[in-house]
Structure 1
Amino acid sequence: MRAWQFEGSGKPIALNEVPEPTPGPGEVVIDVKASGLCHSDLMYMEIGEGTMPFLPMTQGHENAGVISAIGEGVEGWKVGDVVGVCSSGVRPPLGMFTPGGFADKLVADARDLARVPEGLDLSLAALATDAGMTSYHAMIKVGHATTGMKVGVIGYGGLGQIGTRAAVLAGAEVHVAETKESVWDLAREAGVADVVRDASEWAGQGFDLVVDYAGFDTTQKAVDAVKRGTGTVVQVGLGLPTFTIQSSSILGKTIVGSLGGTVQDIEEVFGLLLDREIEPAYTDIAFEEIGAGLERLRRNEVAGRLVARFGD
């Protein structure tokens, strides 16, 4: 079968032929139908050698498809079920530490499966398993965005657009900081109070919560925006491997990191997508375009999410 694989630092992702997988106990094989492209794929192409347990590694951690084989001991699932795959911590993350979904088939732990509701487009189902789960979990389950809160979202990309809309639906007053002005109208359509280019404009404005989906020079700006005593910064984005924060600025404020989420988070996002309460921007590409798509991401040419469609 075909698989897009990371072969080592400094090398572009390569399209290779690999053996088809078989399921072990507690596992299923999924015929992949859609797989989202993420900046984390690029990050692991920069730091993966020495971090990944083996090379080459089939990438792709944002996947949806159809179960085609079931291993011993799997209950509640059958061949033909349409599923998304959650990197919930049950097993090492797909595409980084175990083979992922930039391939015709992948093996997943049955405990990581989220049931895709009938009628939901599989591109949306795929992006919900990471961009949806991660952004929603950070905003709703970790940040506890709710009615009456003043909430800031840094970065209106694949994650930020979903986190923003989730906060709006929760009843919060939502503000967005995004350097790419071409997506400002999308943010306004999602129901935000305003959009600024740089989160430094929020300094001293007493936000209850800021979720940083970027993680470049942004975290200090998030800290400066939240109120002392009750303000919270949720860090999601890892645009830089390290960043500094002025020590005195964190006193009386909470900074917490949010990583991934749960199958329940994914299924809640599935419901919001199906009801069109959240309508993220995304672009479908062909399986053969994954390598070129990652380069588009690297050059910051993508609004929303790229999703590879294949195997239909």
Structure 2
Amino acid sequence: MNRVVRFHEIGGPDVLRLDEVPVPQPGPGEVLIRTRALGLNRAESMFRLGQYGTAPVLPASIGYEAAGVIEALGEGVHGLTVGEAVSVVPSFTMNDYPVHGEAVLAPAHAVVAHPGQLSFEEAASVWMQFITAYGGLVDVAGIRAGDTVLISAASSSVGLAAIQIAHQAGARAIALTRTGAKRRQLLDAGADDVIATAEEDVPSRVRELTNGQGARIVFDPVGGNALADLVAAAAPGGVLVLYGVLDRTPTPLDIGQVLFKRLTLRGFTLHEITTDAQRRAEAVAFVTEGLVKGELVPTVDKAFPLDDIAEAHRYLEAGGQVGKIVITVGTDTTP
């Protein structure tokens, strides 16, 4: 049998179960992966809570990211081999291809032979964070040398990836975090400056750090009340890339600032990149090159065994992590 993570009702982490189901057989264009590590994201938490863009079909399986070894290939799959170490690029819905389980199916276009220096834990931490940051900063905002980038929720895996991509582009990364508790860790992760949003005036501090210019790029997954400060902190002609809605309270917006500062507010989701074959290929090539060169390095905050999946979700929702939360499957997490 094969254990997969499922929930039979909407709710908190306690609704998660490890259900035994038959090992699936890959159909045309599909790959069967025996997993070694699973990446955990806010998307899985929101999906379980019924707050994600796609509603779960109950009983619902879950999961966007996994790394492991190919066990079987479906008809028409080329360029991949049985026994190869691979990871999964989120380019599907969790209703169609949930990958949090011991043996899972993924569409062949989403399966990548990741750089060999990565452990399975690291490989399960790559694609969601780096392609989200690449998509928002490079593909959408056109980041360039000399830019200042405000990065909200900077201690998240995507936030840390954004810091690295900003540096790669020759830009300045200002990390935003709620309190000063993670300041040292964010500086160690490469942030040029850190602003504690609950303790400092964000627009004033950004003006101080940028000689009054403001930030050309704002990269934000939060929304809510804090967005007003980000609009105020943006430079004239700036781009605000909104890739999440962690705070669902109504967002106050000064239309005058948007108008007279000529701001662009741009909603962005990962799937905008990963469901477009050309943009997905460009993103995978960008991230792979960065990984090989050592310019992009996934940060694993903590690993939980599969049996502790509910505890891993509780840890995610507590918000104390710096980097990625990973679920290990079995004991061997090296390729």
Q: Compute the TM-score of the two structures, normalised by the length of structure 2.
A: 0.84
Shift of residue 300, structure 1, vs aligned partner: 1.9
- In the alignment, is the contact (CA less than 8 A) between 1:158 and 1:303 conserved in 2? yes
Partner Cα separation in structure 1 for residue 56 and residue 325 of structure 2:
27
Residue identity over aligned pairs, in percent, reads 29
Name which of 220, 227, 230 aligns with 1:222: 230
Partner Cα separation in structure 1 for residue 19 and residue 104 of structure 2:
15
1:13 maps to: 16
User: What secondary structure is seen at the aligned counterpart in 1 of 2:222?
Assistant: coil
Partner Cα separation in structure 1 for residue 52 and residue 10 of structure 2:
6
Partner Cα separation in structure 1 for residue 52 and residue 233 of structure 2:
37
Partner Cα separation in structure 2 for residue 210 and residue 50 of structure 1:
22
Matched, 1:207 2:215: yes
Shift of residue 195, structure 1, vs aligned partner: 0.6
Shift of residue 50, structure 1, vs aligned partner: 11
Measured on the aligned residues, the alpha-carbon RMSD in Å equals 2.2
Superposition pairs of residues 1-312 of structure 1, within 5 angstroms: 1-10=2-11, 12-47=15-50, 51-52=54-55, 54-88=57-91, 92-93=92-93, 96-156=94-154, 157-198=156-197, 199-200=202-203, 201-202=205-206, 205-228=213-236, 230-241=237-248, 243-244=250-251, 245-251=253-259, 252-260=262-270, 261=273, 262-282=280-300, 283-311=302-330, 312=332
Q: Could you tell which deviates more after superposition, 139-148 or 47-56? A: 47-56
Partner Cα separation in structure 1 for residue 52 and residue 140 of structure 2:
31
User: What secondary structure is seen at the aligned counterpart in 1 of 2:138?
Assistant: helix
Which structure 1 residue ranges, 5 or more long, are not aligned? none
CA 1:101–1:304: 2 relative to 1, 3 Å: same
CA 1:118–1:80: 2 relative to 1, 3 Å: same
Q: Could you tell which deviates more after superposition, 183-192 or 251-260? A: 183-192
- In the alignment, is the contact (CA less than 8 A) between 2:63 and 2:100 conserved in 1? yes
Partner Cα separation in structure 1 for residue 54 and residue 67 of structure 2:
26
Partner Cα separation in structure 2 for residue 57 and residue 269 of structure 1:
31
Which structure 2 residue ranges, 5 or more long, are not aligned? 274-279
Letter in 1 for 2:180: E
User: What secondary structure is seen at the aligned counterpart in 2 of 1:192?
Assistant: coil
Partner Cα separation in structure 2 for residue 14 and residue 246 of structure 1:
45
Letter in 2 for 1:235: L
Per-residue CA shift, 1:289-309, capped at 9, x if unaligned?
A: 211110111222322211111
Shift of residue 41, structure 1, vs aligned partner: 1.2
Partner Cα separation in structure 2 for residue 271 and residue 308 of structure 1:
26
Q: Compute the TM-score of the two structures, normalised by the length of structure 1.
A: 0.90
CA 1:216–1:65: 2 relative to 1, 3 Å: farther
Per-residue CA shift, 1:48-88, capped at 9, x if unaligned?
A: 69953521121111111211111111111111122221123
Shift of residue 242, structure 1, vs aligned partner: 5.9
Partner Cα separation in structure 2 for residue 293 and residue 188 of structure 1:
26
Shift of residue 288, structure 1, vs aligned partner: 1.3
Partner Cα separation in structure 1 for residue 50 and residue 67 of structure 2:
26
Q: Could you tell which deviates more after superposition, 108-117 or 196-205? A: 196-205
Shift of residue 270, structure 1, vs aligned partner: 3.6
2:276 maps to: none
Partner Cα separation in structure 2 for residue 266 and residue 173 of structure 1:
24
Letter in 1 for 2:7: F
Per-residue CA shift, 1:129-188, capped at 9, x if unaligned?
A: 212221222122222222111111111112101111110121002211111433222321
Runs of 4 or more, structure 1, over 6 Å off, are none
Letter in 2 for 1:287: L
Q: Could you tell which deviates more after superposition, 128-137 or 165-174? A: 128-137
